[in-house]
A = this chain, B = another copy of it.
Amino acid sequence: MVSRHVDIVDVARRAGVSPATVSRAFNHPSLVRADTRARISAVVDELGYIRNRAARSIHGKRSGTIGLIVPTVDNAIFSRLIQSFSDALNSRGFTLLLSAHGYDLGREKDLLRSFLEHRVDGIAVIGLDHENATFALIENRQVPAVALWNHDGASRMSCVGPENHHAGYLAARHLADLGHRRIGLLFPPTRGNDRAASRLEGAEALLAERGIDVPDRWRIEAVYSVAAAKRALIDLIGDGDIPTGLVAGNDVLAQGAVFAAAECAVGVPDRVSVVGIGDFSGSAEMTPSLTTVRLPAAEIGEAGAEILLELVRSQRRHPLIRRNLPLELAVRASTAAPPAP
């Protein structure tokens, strides 16, 4: 009972029309008479015919797929982005190809190649920092592309996101405005991660403006995980000399820091204030609730999809589109004025 797969010719034969008519019934319904269309539709259901997009896209038609390459899926903030990007795509009839490169820009290029083999109609990547080969691939192929998560007025490709530099700046400014002078920086490795790098630069810019110096022992590096951040901060607290304020590169790290403080009975915000970046799910609900710079993840995904599909539609010359999304500081319970010395 090995029924070969039914194709458009089978449908045509059974409906008593030519394959061309069946094809038209799908793609240009107005060109085929209503009763013919109905007959075809009935046969399609009867035979369980499913169109073959590969065969379609071979004709220079759209493949109907969009590729998204992220550093990692396993991170609350990208999850929300992926979700909204995917929803926006699906609602417009596109299918998402997804891959994660694990913060390895070399792998990113390979994944891009693989997506191009699949002839995706467009490409979305995270951030503006990529290998030259990656840019070259995109430019030579003239494939519509957009960078999510980072805005830069001088970017080499279309982009949509907030200014990460400004996010770091805002977070640090909040602490400085509260009167903190002894400030620590808890950031992930910035190699191959221009978002984190920009945030760090932004924080440092503000601190320099205010004449605040951050000693090396208060510059802490931890990979993106609550556990790693907690461990790193417990070490710092163990050393005795702790800052009164801490800027974390994102909310996962900030959460880890808060948990560490709780475990070491170091009051937040009484002894140390913590500010994060991201406003992940849970940050507002934890105790103490986390002060953070809200990144509009869902908006980025939606706007990114919109821009990308716009580029896909505009056949010829792809213009550069840049969209700057606003940041806002969410002041909650994890920050306060520094304790009296």
Contact = CB atoms under 8 A, between A and B. Distances in A.
Nearest to A75: B79
B54 A119 contact: yes
Given A82-B73, A118-B53, A263 B282 contact: no
A259 B115 CA distance: 43
Nearest to A260: B285
B79 A95 contact: no
Interface string A102-114: 1000000001011
Nearest to A116: B50
Interface string A157-197: 00000000000000000000000000000000000000000
Contacts of A119: 52-54
A52 B287 CA distance: 53
Nearest to A111: B90
Determine which residue in A74, A79, A80, A116 has the highest number of CB atoms from chain B within 10 A of its CB, and name it.
A74
Please indicate which of the listed interface residues A50, A97, A114, A226 has the most CB atoms of chain B within 10 Å of its own CB: A50
A285 B282 CA distance: 14
Given A53-B117, A118-B65, A259-B285, A73 B86 contact: yes
Contacts of A134: none
Interface stretch (A14-22, A29-37, A55-63, A270-278): A55-63
A28 interface: no
A52 B117 contact: yes
Contact of A83 (B63, B74, B117, B255): B74
6 contacts: A48-B140, A52-B58, A54-B57, A73-B79, A230-B285, A262-B287
Interface of A: 5, 48, 50-55, 57-58, 63-65, 72-76, 79-80, 82-83, 86-87, 90, 95-100, 102, 111, 113-119, 140-141, 225-227, 230, 252, 255-256, 259, 262-263, 281-282, 284-287
